[in-house]
């Protein structure tokens, strides 16, 4: 299964390179290093959110509230900046708030045993409603934001914006989390075989709760980064972005059935969508085709996952069947 997963990532990577090559035939400037850097920077929010969504999906759940979480935390960050709150406190505020919003999802799934899709559809609407209440439906624009607030994600270090460096750091941290920590192994165990996980002392509910908290934390951080980079905050910010996040995971080989996936797959899935999003206007194709292309990619990825993912990865205890007795 490990070799199969690696081949899936290699196939997706080759597909991304082929897509870039085809685009370069029509618009050679697309492959310029400066443009590719911009493509990665534009895709960084999707990469960050896809990693959070990945751990949720690994546990057989889904988080459809990530974009609303992002929007609420982004609005709170912009309002805090307008109130004169220092930048370090704003960063701490959005991370804690995002984690708390994720914890609300996790508690409802764990303690109330409500299906995750129902919980996150509900909280998605609630979070958007809270944004409207605290902002009175008004926008916060660039001239209402401090220079320091807007400058942080755009500042460059060694030729890359801070936003890109944050995405790279989170990729590295999640690779370490998944491969080297008991919590990372628990995500696979719960998704691969929740009944077997219980026998090894792993709490399915608690593990799912932690997955939602991680997803919410990343959504909160991304909320500030998004608002500061685009210098605007409003109720419908990142509307529909949760579908791109789920699409990135599915395209990257994260099994909707849980227990199978990788950090590399989630990142490559996000980059695939990022290349498409940036390439369509360049080659003269309407951006509205992005929805059709993304939807087609999801269907193909789900079909491929269904064929290849029947044998779950990282089962910690296989089902045992008593042999039949001949009578």
In a domain, 323, yes or no: no
In a domain, 74, yes or no: yes
Q: What integer pLDDT is reported at residue 128 of this predicted model?
A: 96
> CA–CA separation, 313 vs 278, rounded Å?
34
Q: What integer pLDDT is reported at residue 308 of this predicted model?
A: 63
In a domain, 177, yes or no: yes
For residue 248, the SS3 value is helix
Q: What integer pLDDT is reported at residue 316 of this predicted model?
A: 45
In a domain, 216, yes or no: yes
- Own/partner contacts of 26-34, CB < 8 Å, gap of 24 or more, are 26/282, 26/283, 27/282, 27/283, 30/279, 30/282
The four Cα atoms 183, 185, 186, 189 give a dihedral, to 10 degrees, of: 170
Estimate the crossing angle of helix 66-82 against helix 116-135, to 10 degrees. 20
Q: What integer pLDDT is reported at residue 266 of this predicted model?
A: 95
Q: Which domain holds residue 208?
A: 2-12+33-308
In a domain, 63, yes or no: yes
C-alpha 41, offset from chain centre: 15
Q: What integer pLDDT is reported at residue 294 of this predicted model?
A: 67
State the burial class of residue 188 (Cβ atoms within 10 Å of its Cβ: 0-12, 13-18, 19+). buried
In a domain, 21, yes or no: no
- The count of residues in the chain is 327
Q: What integer pLDDT is reported at residue 259 of this predicted model?
A: 85
Give me the residues paired with residue 160 across strands: 157
In a domain, 161, yes or no: yes
Parts of the chain with a pLDDT under 70? 1-6, 287, 290-291, 294, 305-327
In a domain, 148, yes or no: yes
Domain count, the chain: 1
The CATH code of the domain that includes 72 is 1.10.3470
């Amino acid at each position: 299964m490990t070799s199969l997963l690696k081949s899936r990532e290699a196939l997706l990577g080759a597909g991304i390179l082929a897509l870039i090559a085809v685009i370069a035939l029509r618009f050679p400037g697309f492959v310029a290093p400066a443009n590719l850097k911009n493509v990665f920077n534009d895709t960084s929010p999707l990469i960050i959110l896809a990693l959070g969504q990945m751990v949720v999906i690994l546990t057989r759940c889904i988080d459809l509230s990530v974009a609303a979480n992002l929007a609420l935390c982004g609005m709170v960050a912009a309002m805090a900046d307008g109130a004169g709150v220092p930048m370090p406190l704003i960063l701490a505020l959005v991370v804690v708030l995002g984690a708390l919003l994720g914890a609300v999802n996790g508690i409802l799934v764990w303690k109330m045993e409500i299906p995750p899709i129902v919980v996150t559809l509900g909280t998605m609407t609630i979070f958007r409603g809270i944004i409207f209440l605290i902002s009175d439906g008004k926008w916060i624009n660039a001239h209402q934001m401090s220079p320091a607030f807007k400058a942080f994600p755009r500042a460059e270090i060694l030729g890359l914006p801070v936003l890109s460096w944050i995405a790279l750091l989170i990729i590295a941290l999640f690779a370490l989390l998944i491969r080297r920590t008991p919590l990372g192994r628990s995500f696979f165990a719960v998704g691969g075989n929740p009944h077997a996980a219980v026998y090894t002392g792993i709490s399915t509910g608690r593990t799912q709760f932690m997955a939602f908290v991680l997803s919410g934390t990343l959504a909160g951080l991304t909320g500030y980064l998004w608002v500061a980079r685009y210098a605007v905050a409003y109720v419908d910010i990142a509307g529909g972005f949760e579908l791109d996040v789920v699409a990135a995971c599915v395209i990257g080989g994260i099994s909707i059935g849980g227990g199978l996936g990788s950090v590399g797959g989630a990142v490559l899935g996000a980059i695939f969508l990022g290349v498409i999003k940036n390439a369509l206007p360049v080659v003269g194709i309407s951006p509205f085709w992005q929805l059709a292309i993304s939807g087609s990619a999801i269907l193909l990825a789900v079909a491929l996952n269904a064929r290849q993912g029947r044998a779950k990865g990282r089962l910690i205890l296989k089902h045992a069947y008593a042999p039949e007795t001949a009578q």
